[in-house]
């Protein structure tokens, strides 16, 4: 891990995969086929890509019951406790409809309504994370979404991972389909004979899933397209090098394109973390992945003071930020861009991945500049409410008509005047 003195703009080597022209064409063809042929196309693509011919896509209750037998009781309890924490945090994001009343009788407000339906994509293979099921489903549940559909590509024996099924059941999903890839996204967006379409699709996936989500966006809503995971640790001399190194590696093991960065004011810590990373890396099961990630996208930035360090963090706009400094809370107000902020040495990033409660679906790739963690609001929409009173239209009607005429919209002016002329 290189140690680099901060000077001016910190240019970050980012890695965005927006797909090749071939991949985009392939995804467009899959979506067109599913729209044209429905279940038959989904079945054919599932056979082609997942190497299993399914007679029916939907997961049966017996499969969920079977899954419980394959997960230890203790682990089931941990998943339940995590689900409760996630539920409890997300409930606090709930915001009621509101209104204001004016003396003249006018009422203005905002109505909050859950989406009718949501679809959650859960990747297959080694990226099939039960925690990801909880993090996507629970906000939708808290939001009040009545129909939540989960899709995930089956293994070649036609099954989904036990942990994923258990997590889905604990989160309260009652409709699960064993389909994946662009064909699953297309089925969720446009519906097939056996799968009704949904209003929004969330959840991570490979490049084909990401491209398919981008393609259907507008016909249905999607969450942000996720990039590789990122962590920045902002630390001074009070931080423990072994803890910082372990947290950096916990991101690095996700993906060779993950980015782990330390920003510190302490040359001593910089060097200590450098050797700790090397030492801990050498004994990690996923050391190939983590090693390449650290090599290609890892860095230790040495800043001259905390202000400069904070500025580096804001330029990075990291998905995860840990602040491990003497007065960590004092820096919170200065952090403008970060998906999740972990404060103090006990707030190790995995605490947030699984258990504490806040969502682990976070803006990556610098999009924390303008995006937020997945939340209850992502599964609700608002409607403005306008109850204009007779008194109000009497008082303001002529002005509204004048404004409409300034914009050349005569019918707008006349609509208001149709009322005015009756007074």
Applying the rule CB under 8 A, the residues between 121 and 150 that interact with its own copies are 126, 129-131
Residue placing its CB nearer to its own copies in the complex, 8 or 411: 411
Nearer to its own copies, 74 or 156 (CB): 74
Q: Does 339 bind its own copies (CB under 8 A)?
A: yes
> Which alpha helices (DSSP H) does 144-193 contain, by range?
162-171, 181-190
Could you give the CA distance from residue 391 to residue 102 in angstroms, rounded to a whole number?
A: 11
The vertex-156 CA angle with 61 and 52, nearest 5°, equals: 85
19: its two tokens: 């797909």
DSSP symbol at 377: G
Write the interaction track for its own copies spanning residues 53-82; mark x where CB under 8 A is met and - where it is not.
------------------x--xx--xx-xx
Instruction: Choose, from 230, 243, 276, 320, the residue flagged as catalytic.
Output: 320
- Work out the number of other CB atoms within 10 angstroms of the CB of residue 207: 16
Q: Which token pair is 237?
A: 């001399």
Q: Min. distance of Cβ 157 from its own copies in angstroms? A: 19
Q: State the burial class of residue 308 (Cβ atoms within 10 Å of its Cβ: 0-12, 13-18, 19+).
A: middle
147-151/380-387 β-pairing:
unpaired
Residue 66 CA to residue 163 CA, distance in Å, equals 11
Give the one residue of 239, 254, 274, 313 binding its own copies; rule: CB under 8 A.
Answer: 254
Residue 90 is a catalytic residue: no
Active-site residue, selected from the candidate residues 253, 319, 322, 349: 319
The answer to the question of residue 29 lying near its own copies (CB under 8 A) is no
396 annotated ligand binder: no
Q: Interface residues for its own copies in 165-204 (CB under 8 A)? A: 199-200
Alpha helices in 38-155 (DSSP H): 39-50, 61-70, 73-91, 130-143
- With contacts defined by CB under 8 A, name the span among 35-43, 51-59, 188-196, 354-362 that binds its own copies: 354-362
Instruction: Compute the distance between CA of residue 53 and CA of residue 43 in angstroms, rounded to an integer.
Output: 7
Q: Is 77 a catalytic residue?
A: no
Q: Give yes or no for residue 345 binding its own copies (CB under 8 A).
A: yes
User: By CB under 8 A, what part of segment 379-418 binds its own copies?
Assistant: 381-390, 392-393, 396, 399-404, 406-416, 418
| Min CB(221)–its own copies separation in Å | 4
Piece in contact with its own copies (CB under 8 A), picked from 27-35, 37-45, 150-158, 284-292: 284-292
121 in a labelled binding site: yes
Distance CA(101)–CA(96), nearest Å, equals 16
Q: Does 368 bind its own copies (CB under 8 A)?
A: yes
Compute the least distance from the CB of residue 318 to its own copies, in Å: 10
**How far is Cα 383 from Cα 371, in angstroms, rounded to an integer?**
22
Q: How far apart, in whole angstroms, are the C-alpha atoms of residue 138 and residue 124?
A: 20
Residue 283 half-sphere exposure toward CB, CA atoms < 13 A: 4
- Residue 28 or 58: the one with the smaller Cβ distance to its own copies is 28
Residue 285 binds to its own copies (criterion: CB under 8 A): yes
Binding residues for NAD(+): 121, 183, 206
Binding residues for substrate: 229, 251, 254, 320, 353, 407, 412
Catalytic residues: 319-320
């Amino acid at each position: 891990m290189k140690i680099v003195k901060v000077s001016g703009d910190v240019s970050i080597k980012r890695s965005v995969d927006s797909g090749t022209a071939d991949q985009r064409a392939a995804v467009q063809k899959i979506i067109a086929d599913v729209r044209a042929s429905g279940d038959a196309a989904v079945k054919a693509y599932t056979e082609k890509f997942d190497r299993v011919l399914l007679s029916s896509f939907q997961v049966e209750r017996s499969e969920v019951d079977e899954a419980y037998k394959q997960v230890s009781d203790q682990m089931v309890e941990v998943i339940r406790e995590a689900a409760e924490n996630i539920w409890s945090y997300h409930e606090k994001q709930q915001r009621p409809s509101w209104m204001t009343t004016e003396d003249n009788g006018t009422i203005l407000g905002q109505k909050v309504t859950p989406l009718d339906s949501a679809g959650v994509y859960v990747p297959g293979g080694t990226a099939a994370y039960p925690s990801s099921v909880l993090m996507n489903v629970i906000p939708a549940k808290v939001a009040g979404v009545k129909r939540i559909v989960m899709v995930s590509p089956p293994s070649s024996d036609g099954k989904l991972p036990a942990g994923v099924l258990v997590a889905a059941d604990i989160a309260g999903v009652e409709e699960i389909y064993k389909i994946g890839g662009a064909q699953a996204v297309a089925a969720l967006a446009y519906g097939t004979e056996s799968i009704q379409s949904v209003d929004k699709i969330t959840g991570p996936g490979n490049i084909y899933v990401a491209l398919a989500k981008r393609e259907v966006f507008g016909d249905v809503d999607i969450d942000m397209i996720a990039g590789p995971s990122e962590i920045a640790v902002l630390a001074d001399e009070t931080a423990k090098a072994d803890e910082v190194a372990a947290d950096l590696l916990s991101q690095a093991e996700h993906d060779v394109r993950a980015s782990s960065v330390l920003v510190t004011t302490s040359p001593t810590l910089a060097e200590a973390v450098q050797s700790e990373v090397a030492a801990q890396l050498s004994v990690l099961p996923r050391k190939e992945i983590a090693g390449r990630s650290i090599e290609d996208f890892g860095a230790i930035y040495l800043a001259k003071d905390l202000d400069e360090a904070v500025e580096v963090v804001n330029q990075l706009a990291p998905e995860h930020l840990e602040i491990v400094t003497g007065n960590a809370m004092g820096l919170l107000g200065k952090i403008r861009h970060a998906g999740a902020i972990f404060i103090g040495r006990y707030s190790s990033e995995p605490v947030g991945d699984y258990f504490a409660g806040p969502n682990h679906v976070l803006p990556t790739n610098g999009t924390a500049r303008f995006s937020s963690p997945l939340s209850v609001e992502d599964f609700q929409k608002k409607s403005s409410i306008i109850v204009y009173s007779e008194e109000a239209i009497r008082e303001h009607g002529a002005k509204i008509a004048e404004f409409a005429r300034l914009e050349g919209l005569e019918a707008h002016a006349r609509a208001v005047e149709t009322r005015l002329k009756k007074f």
